[in-house]
Structure 1
Amino acid sequence: MPDINFMTPELMWPLAIALTWLAGEFLYRWTGLPRISSYGLCGFALANVQWGILTLPDNSSLLLMANVAFGLILFEFGYRINLRWLRTNPWIGITGVLESGVSFIVVFAIAQWYGSTNFTALLLAALAMSTSPAGILRVINEQRSAGQVTERILHLTAINCVLAVFTFKVVVAFWIFQSSGSILQAITGSLQVLVLSALLGAAFGILLPLVLRELGSLARDATIAFAFAVIALVALTHVAKLSPILATLSFGLMARHRRVTLNQAQRNFGALGDMLTVMLFFYAASTLEWSRVWAGAGLGILLVCARLLTKAAASTAFARISGITYRKGLLTGLALSPISVFVILMLEQTRYLGIALVDELTALAAMTLLLEIIGPLLTQRALIWAQETPEHSEK
């Protein structure tokens, strides 16, 4: 009789992810809670460090899969960005830059006041600038929202991500090069990573549409071609130690401006995208340890409140001058709450490079868990209150 071990990671992880999908569906139908919030709750609850139910398989393989899932979302996210809109209304870009900058200053000041080291405070401030494209886009697609608030949070999130990646890499690079004390070398190295990542993604965005047009299958085979291209692009940046975030974002942005049309059926990359999304949010939350969450709860909650107030205040302050009401400006800031997946993948990439920053940022663990749950919920509520979901836009 075959000896079957039901506690092997090869069996437990697929079962846990399947149960997570079921939990997300039932909770969404019963309570309206965004599915990705349920995925995060299940990932945190079932993680090995909490209950020992799941053991962690090869972390580099999981990180690569998570980056592929994130890359598919970022490609679609980049496809939704319209650079002409930013040129037509530059106040949106100015709002994004100032909102990110003020968030950095406020979080850095609070972290230092709380007793964090300069390096820890800088890391917290850099990551607090960001907004998770995965969380934002999944809630938008789930709610089928459209309107001024929807478009603004997409563009502000893109600005937040680029600034956060650059600032984070400068801080980490300066920490690595601190023996020489060369801030110029740190900034130059970070700029090189950003530029090379963006150029690589742009090259994919130029070449793939040309190949599809040559084959005469641009409309028919675009989804599977772009999915394979994203997988290849993420794997390439993973090996070259570039930024898969900026590379896939640039890929989607270039594909849009190369006049490649993605119809509604191709959104989310179909069943493949939905399945990988469950795995992405489950994996991201599973990396959080209860001991670190509890240890950083005080500062984490304080920083969550400060970040939320800062983004809401900045978006509201520039609302009128950028062409919307103060109410919609406030809702835009509220909708920028999600942060978790972006932050976790950034930190896991540094662990892959041999830098264990997760161990130093207990406050970030608390922030991430809190915003894993309430971030998508706040985005959902903001879109509903802005009357940009189908059931409200008709009223």
Structure 2
Amino acid sequence: MQLWVTWPALLWLAWWLGERAQPWGVPRVSVYVAVGLLASVVAPAPALVDGAVLALLAQLALALVLFELGHRIRLAWLRANPWVTAAALLQGLGIFAVVAWGAAWLGVMQEERWLLAAVAVAASPAALLRLVNDARAGGQVTERVLHQAALLSVLAVLLVKGVSAYWLASTAGDWQRALLTGVYALVASVGLGVALAVVLGLLVRGPFASPVVPTVGYALALIWLTVVADALQLSPLLAALSLGMALRQRQTLAAAVQRDFGALGWVLGVFLFVYVGSRMTWEALTQPQVWAMAALVLGARLLVPVGVNAALAWPAATTLRKGVLTGVALVPMSALTLLLLERSVAQGVAPAAQVLQQLAAALLWAELLGPWVTLWALRAAREAAVGNPARWGD
């Protein structure tokens, strides 16, 4: 009962503080996460078994973001400039290799370090897209960051599914479950998103009297997609990203839709980042290995993307400076990483719970400081508006 009384008040507090801090140049996302850290002390979210509704709401909130991000992906541009895709794949695999090697050096068990390396690849599409919209950012760095974040998110899901399937097959001996966790989940998630895109393309056609009308239609479709994908043990996040990309390629999202899904997207966005902060495990922060892991993960997430994007700047048709800033802007990791691990725990992948503990310090710093780093990079690239910040739903 205390949870349902306290959390609405905390969400309101997060919104209020975010609006007061925004004119001072403080990212709203960081404020929401800070209030979530407060929630982890005064009203911690229950364990996954008891807090299934909250976890599902968090998946829905991130699904809205991934849908919008997927609809911004231009496959034609990626085909014309394959170096952007190459940069994302190289940095993702580079982060995976560095974190896996470093975790082995720190003495992390094999079944845990592969999963840890896989989730370390995930960018934070929710934080990045919110920051871009808030700052009204646009330009080469902005587009490369969003496209690479989408590609890194897909790669992270693939790696997590692959590692989870391998663990279930080799340790638990459950080959059928491993197949469901791996190949079935990936193929069916993408298929569900694409199939829904075909249906929406036939049914949701304008013109509409107001952007609110199609926004409600797509939001309800995403609610259905999230619930069905969760019930079928698929990936709601991959399905939502596939839905957005498929609609973009079919050019069927012709009706004007409110940015960030209007008030609904704003409310769920506040909830998502407060939820992420509320999952902090403070006991883990007393362990030296957790801080060593934070240095390893954050170092890899900064140095590898910067190095790869700088090295491929010239063939990718950009400058060395913009390549470096693209890598810097990709530092945030929070919501996707957390939900991937929670999803793995719910599916019975035992190492995921320990990995979540080991990443406590890394997630803490990435959640609070990552948005500041991205905002600095966008401003350094002269792609972020200074003053008059946008409001969600504008």
Is the TM value for this pair above 0.5? yes
1:11 equivalent in structure 2: 5
Change (3 A) 1:219 1:257: farther
- Deviation at 1:262? 5.6
- Deviation at 1:216? 6.1
1:385 equivalent in structure 2: 380
User: Within 2, Cα distance between the matches of 1:55 and 1:241?
Assistant: 22
8 A contact 1:12–1:54 mirrored in 2: no
User: Within 1, Cα distance between the matches of 2:44 and 2:73?
Assistant: 38
Select between 60-69 and 284-293 the one with higher mean Cα deviation. Answer: 284-293
Select between 86-95 and 190-199 the one with higher mean Cα deviation. Answer: 190-199
8 A contact 2:164–2:182 mirrored in 1: no
User: Within 2, Cα distance between the matches of 1:261 and 1:219?
Assistant: 13
Match of 2:46 among 56, 65, 80: 56
Match of 2:23 among 29, 38, 54: 29
2:101 paired with 1:109: yes
Match of 1:20 among 14, 26, 44: 14
Q: Which amino acid aligns with 1:168?
A: V
2:245 equivalent in structure 1: 253
For 1:65-144, list aligned pairs within 5 A.
65-144=57-136
Deviations 1:364-393 (A, max 9, x none): 11111110011111111111100012349x
2:293 equivalent in structure 1: 299
User: Within 2, Cα distance between the matches of 1:252 and 1:294?
Assistant: 41
1:43 equivalent in structure 2: 36
User: Within 2, Cα distance between the matches of 1:383 and 1:257?
Assistant: 27
- Deviation at 1:176? 1.1
Deviations 1:299-323 (A, max 9, x none): 2123211221111111111111100
Segments of 4+ moved more than 6 angstroms? 180-185
User: Within 1, Cα distance between the matches of 2:58 and 2:209?
Assistant: 27
1:234 equivalent in structure 2: 226
User: Within 1, Cα distance between the matches of 2:114 and 2:27?
Assistant: 31
8 A contact 1:170–1:187 mirrored in 2: no
Q: Which amino acid aligns with 1:24?
A: G
User: Within 1, Cα distance between the matches of 2:51 and 2:12?
Assistant: 20
1:320 equivalent in structure 2: 314
2:348 equivalent in structure 1: 354
SS of aligned partner of 2:204: helix
Q: Which amino acid aligns with 1:390?
A: A
Deviations 1:229-265 (A, max 9, x none): 00000001110010111100011111222221364x6
The two structures have a TM-score, normalised by structure 2, of 0.91
Match of 2:187 among 173, 188, 195: 195
SS of aligned partner of 1:151: helix
User: Within 2, Cα distance between the matches of 1:245 and 1:55?
Assistant: 21
User: Within 2, Cα distance between the matches of 1:372 and 1:290?
Assistant: 15
CA RMSD of aligned residues (A): 2.2
- Deviation at 1:217? 4.5
2:146 paired with 1:154: yes
- Deviation at 1:288? 1.3
Deviations 1:25-58 (A, max 9, x none): 222223x1211111111101221xx3x4446384
8 A contact 1:78–1:253 mirrored in 2: yes
Deviations 1:56-114 (A, max 9, x none): 38410001111111111111010100000011111111111111111111111111111
User: Within 2, Cα distance between the matches of 1:218 and 1:120?
Assistant: 53
8 A contact 1:104–1:126 mirrored in 2: yes
Match of 1:338 among 332, 335, 345: 332
- Deviation at 1:293? 3.1
Q: Which amino acid aligns with 1:362?
A: Q
Q: Which amino acid aligns with 2:365?
A: L
- Deviation at 1:179? 4.1
Q: Which amino acid aligns with 2:53?
A: S
User: Within 2, Cα distance between the matches of 1:88 and 1:54?
Assistant: 48
Change (3 A) 1:17 1:180: closer
Match of 1:363 among 358, 361, 369: 358
8 A contact 2:332–2:370 mirrored in 1: yes
Give the aligned length. 380
Q: Which amino acid aligns with 2:20?
A: F
Deviations 1:127-186 (A, max 9, x none): 111101111101100101000001101111111111111111111111111147799995
User: Within 1, Cα distance between the matches of 2:172 and 2:347?
Assistant: 20
Change (3 A) 1:218 1:349: farther
8 A contact 2:168–2:175 mirrored in 1: no
8 A contact 1:166–1:191 mirrored in 2: no
Q: Which amino acid aligns with 1:90?
A: P
User: Within 2, Cα distance between the matches of 1:371 and 1:237?
Assistant: 28
- Unaligned 5+ segments in structure 1 are 1-6
Change (3 A) 1:113 1:187: farther
8 A contact 1:205–1:251 mirrored in 2: yes
SS of aligned partner of 1:33: coil
Change (3 A) 1:183 1:319: farther
8 A contact 1:319–1:325 mirrored in 2: yes
User: Within 2, Cα distance between the matches of 1:185 and 1:355?
Assistant: 11
1:145 equivalent in structure 2: 137
